[in-house]
């Protein structure tokens, strides 16, 4: 096994005299459990039962994204996944959202390791921001997962330190403190995806990660049902299972059917083919590359993330590229249109991604031409419907053909639908079931699937972010205890400095704009000098609102002169006066326009 082990200089190691659950050395994935080096220190006295198992979802139970769950027993903490969530439309300026790790303050050295189930950003995206704040615990993932994490880390050198990376496979066995950990392969839409089996003093926990069951194809990996059947014979305590597609009835499409449809498209294409899909669908990207070679097409790959992922996958053997298949975009004009295929990012309608730049005729080398066929081989992420529709409309205006997954079976999602979710429950046979990874309604629907599988309500644990699940004596319950789980916003290099107040201000400015009032007060005459200056951004068009602006100027002059006119210069409370301007001007503007701009008063004293 190719092993990567980046350790930090000066990291404290464990002495041999410590108890066995607090020391270790690592041997990769043999037949016995191995112990990675990781020191723990006793935590401060806690109010909770140290002899109970605690499962703490930090994120991922009220949204699709921000996945992170902690498993805690005494002074031992194991974390599974550390992802981000993309912002919603009412979060202007926010780049993404990460989990809140306030609960781990003072317990950083108890975190024995972080296991990453796969390399999607909703499972790895928070690593650069959170790992340094957790005293750089070891990270465990498959070769592809670690390679993508390392590549992303290069973009965060200014805020993050070197990572301690440990490569695992489906057959790896580890001891992390008191926990014994195994893995099982899962079918998903990125290679190297795993589920996690954690042996604890209270019983076995199974965490599926993102998964689907595709028994007809290994293009997207294989879910190791035989391994799960063996675990099911050991009376596991708790199954935590992916709920992303719990709303969808039936079974997920097989990748083999998708490739049959895509081959027909490639074989019959009369002009250029432009494929839009996720950069992480490496199994499907490999199949498209093979189709290009089979039908003597020249393939162009456009989009930084797709180029990076394909290069990483080539190095690790997940993708093979027949010689001469891929060409630089600059050479495209040397071939006839029907000889060209393009793989591009931007199938979600992202404004600056490749597909949108092509549609807007902003790409340096690729222009839309009649006879082109655009193939969207990916589903639409909830919330992106409008941007995808806008992109589709732009392409239709250019007179090209557009094929998407609603027209043909050209996309198989990476998440199990209801029949296979039920099958997972029936194979693992847990005593308790906990749906994870999805909006609350998804979790509830998944709970109903467990009911159909024969589980009583008290065996189905539908929790909220931050809600602690406690297990002791074979019984698991949702407690009333909640750890911090509110949003932490990332905006540029700022992490957590954009809070609810800042976001509310941005929402107000985005909705009704901003109105700045600048008044200059003469301490000698006790009068406002001239007329106050007014600036409107996103509120009104000032040239057409002269009467309104004159009324505002008179109002501001009255407020300032009445409030400050009878005080000596050092006695004037300008904070109070600016608050009065903000309140009275705001009320006046709402009365006149029924809009609530953000009013920013500035008073200059001379």
**pLDDT number for residue 159:** 67
pLDDT tens-digit series, residues 471-494: 999 999 999 999 999 888 876 545
- Rounded to whole angstroms, the Cα distance separating 108 from 115 reads 16
Tokens read off for 347: 């199938």
- Rounded to whole angstroms, the Cα distance separating 350 from 403 reads 18
Residue 556: name the closest of 523, 510, 517, 521 by CA. Answer: 517
Residue 195: name the closest of 160, 155, 236, 136 by CA. Answer: 236
Domains and CATH numbers, the chain: 32-250+414-491 (3.60.15.10), 255-404 (3.40.50.10710), 513-605 (3.10.20.580)
Best-predicted range by mean pLDDT (176-185, 358-367, 410-419): 176-185
DSSP three-state, residue 12: coil
State the pLDDT confidence band at 523, using cuts at 50, 70 and 90: confident
- Rounded to whole angstroms, the Cα distance separating 584 from 53 reads 56
- Write a three-state SS string for 404-420: ECCCCCCCCCCCCCHHH
Tokens read off for 279: 């950069």
pLDDT tens-digit series, residues 61-114: 999 889 999 999 999 999 999 999 887 665 656 678 899 999 999 999 999 999
- pTM, full prediction: 0.77
Minimum mean pLDDT among 132-141, 268-277, 434-443, 534-543: which range?
A: 534-543
- Rounded to whole angstroms, the Cα distance separating 414 from 417 reads 10
Query: Residue range 387-397: average pLDDT?
Result: 84
pLDDT tens-digit series, residues 230-275: 999 999 999 999 999 999 999 998 888 888 888 888 888 888 999 8
Higher pLDDT, 400 or 465: 465
Mean pLDDT over all residues of the chain?
84
Overall residue count recorded for the chain in this entry = 606
- Rounded to whole angstroms, the Cα distance separating 292 from 339 reads 9
Asked if residue 364 has pLDDT above 50, the reply is yes
Asked if residue 140 has pLDDT above 70, the reply is yes
End-to-end distance of the chain based on CA atoms, in angstroms?
A: 74
pLDDT tens-digit series, residues 193-237: 999 999 999 999 999 999 999 988 888 889 999 999 999 999 999
DSSP three-state, residue 425: helix
Tokens read off for 453: 């599988």
State the pLDDT confidence band at 36, using cuts at 50, 70 and 90: very low
What is the arrangement of strands in the sheet containing 96-98, beginning at the earlier edge strand?
A: 96-98, 488-491, 494-495
Asked if residue 377 has pLDDT above 80, the reply is no
- Rounded to whole angstroms, the Cα distance separating 442 from 530 reads 61
Round the CA-based radius of gyration of the chain to a whole number and report it. 29
Residue 211: name the closest of 189, 237, 240 by CA. Answer: 189
Q: Residue 39 class from Cβ within 10 Å (0-12 exposed, 13-18 middle, 19+ buried)? A: middle
CB-based contacts of 473, cutoff 8 Å, min separation 6: 202
Q: Residue 328 class from Cβ within 10 Å (0-12 exposed, 13-18 middle, 19+ buried)? A: exposed
DSSP three-state, residue 598: strand
**pLDDT number for residue 577:** 87
Query: Residue range 118-138: average pLDDT?
Result: 93
Instruction: State the residue for tokens 């675990």.
Output: 231
């Amino acid at each position: 096994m190719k092993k990567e082990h980046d350790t930090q200089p000066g990291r404290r190691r464990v002495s041999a005299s410590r108890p066995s659950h607090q020391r270790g050395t690592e041997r990769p994935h043999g037949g016995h459990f191995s112990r990675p080096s990781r020191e723990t220190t006793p935590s401060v006295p806690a109010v909770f039962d140290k002899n109970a198992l605690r499962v703490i979802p930090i994120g991922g139970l009220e949204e699709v994204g921000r996945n992170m769950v902690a498993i805690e027993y005494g002074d031992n903490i194991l974390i599974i996944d550390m992802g981000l969530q993309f912002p919603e439309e009412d979060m202007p300026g926010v780049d993404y959202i990460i989990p809140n790790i306030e609960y781990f303050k003072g317990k950083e050295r108890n975190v024995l390791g972080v296991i990453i189930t796969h390399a999607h950003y909703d499972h790895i995206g928070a690593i650069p921001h959170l790992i340094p704040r957790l005293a750089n615990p070891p990270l465990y993932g498959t070769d592809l997962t670690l390679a993508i994490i390392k590549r992303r880390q290069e973009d965060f050198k200014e805020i993050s330190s070197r990572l301690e990376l440990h490569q695992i496979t489906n057959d790896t066995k580890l001891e992390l403190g008191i926990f014994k950990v195994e893995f099982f392969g899962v079918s998903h839409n990125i290679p190297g995806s795993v589920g996690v089996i954690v042996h604890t003093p209270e019983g076995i926990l199974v965490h599926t990660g993102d998964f689907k069951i595709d028994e007809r194809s290994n293009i997207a990996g294989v879910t190791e049902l035989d391994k799960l059947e063996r675990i099911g014979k050991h009376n596991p305590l708790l199954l935590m299972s992916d709920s992303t597609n719990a709303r969808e009835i039936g079974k997920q499409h097989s990748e083999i059917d998708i490739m049959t449809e895509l081959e027909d498209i490639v074989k019959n294409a009369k002009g250029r083919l432009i494929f839009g899909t996720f950069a992480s669908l490496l199994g499907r990207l490999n199949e498209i590359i093979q189709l290009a070679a089979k039908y003597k097409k020249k393939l162009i790959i456009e989009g930084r993330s797709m180029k990076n992922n394909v290069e990483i996958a080539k190095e690790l053997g997940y993708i093979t590229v027949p010689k001469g298949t891929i060409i630089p975009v600059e050479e495209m004009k040397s071939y006839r249109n029907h000889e060209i295929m393009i793989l591009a990012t931007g199938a979600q309608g992202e404004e600056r991604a490749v597909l949108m730049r092509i549609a807007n005729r902003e790409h340096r080398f690729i222009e839309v031409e009649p006879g082109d066929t655009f193939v969207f081989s990916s589903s639409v992420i909830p919330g992106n419907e409008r941007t995808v529709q806008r992109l589709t409309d732009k392409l239709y205006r250019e007179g090209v053909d557009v094929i998407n997954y609603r027209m043909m079976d050209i996309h198989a999602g990476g998440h199990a639908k209801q029949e296979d979710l039920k099958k997972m429950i029936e194979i693992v046979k847990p005593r308790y079931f906990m749906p994870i990874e999805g909006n609350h309604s998804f979790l509830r629907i998944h709970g109903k699937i467990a009911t159909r599988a024969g589980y009583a309500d008290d065996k189905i644990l539908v929790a909220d972010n931050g809600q602690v699940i406690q297990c002791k004596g074979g019984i698991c319950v949702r407690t009333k205890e909640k750890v911090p789980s509110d949003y932490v916003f990332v905006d540029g290099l700022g992490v957590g400095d954009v809070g609810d107040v800042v976001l509310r201000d941005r929402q107000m400015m985005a909705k009704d704009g901003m109105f700045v009032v600048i008044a200059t007060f003469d301490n000698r005459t006790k009068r406002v000098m001239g007329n106050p200056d007014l600036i409107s951004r996103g509120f009104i068009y000032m040239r057409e609102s002269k009467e309104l602006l004159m009324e505002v100027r008179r109002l501001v002059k009255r407020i300032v002169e009445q409030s400050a006119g009878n005080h000596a210069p050092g006695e004037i409370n300008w904070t109070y006066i600016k608050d009065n301007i903000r309140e009275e001007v705001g009320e006046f503007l709402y009365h006149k326009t029924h809009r609530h701009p953000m009013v920013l008063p500035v008073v200059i004293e001379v």
